[in-house]
Amino acid sequence: MIPKDVDRQPVFPDRVRTIPEHFAWADHRLRDRLGRLTLEETALLFFLHLAADKSGCSFWSDGTIAKRLNLPAGVVTEARIGLVRKGLVAYRFPLFQILPVEEPSR
């Protein structure tokens, strides 16, 4: 249960994902990024896609996600940190936000 006083606004309101024309279940541009992710980061990102609301936000804790993915909680925390560093997820305890996939810089 999410406490009533939790800030439910996206971490980056100006970066709320939208569904592009080429949308499958997840943005197809993720295919080009998967090789740069650890397996744990990939598992967490997929889980967050499944858990997210229409703004890309969810409130699952690292511990609960770890149980669902059958991973140690510390591994999920490290995966979260990696996804934040790679610009795929924003995080402000206890809120995850899936960010739109940016086109690679040229």
Position 82 pLDDT exceeds 70 = yes
Spatial separation of the C-alpha atoms in residues 62 and 67, rounded to whole Å: 9
pLDDT score of 2 more than 80: no
pLDDT tier at 21 (50, 70, 90 boundaries)? low
Domains of the chain, with CATH numbers?
Answer: 36-98 (1.10.10.10)
For residues 29 and 89, which has the higher predicted lDDT (pLDDT)?
89
**Residue of 18 and 10 predicted with greater confidence:** 10
For 24-77, the pLDDT digits (tens) are 457 778 888 899 999 999 999 999 998 888 888 999 999 999 999 999 999 999
Is residue 97 within 8 A of residue 89, CB to CB? The reply is yes
pLDDT band (50, 70, 90) for residue 23: low
For 21-61, give the DSSP string: TT-SSS-GGGGGTGGGS-HHHHHHHHHHHHH--TTSEE---
Distance CA 17, CA 43 (A): 20
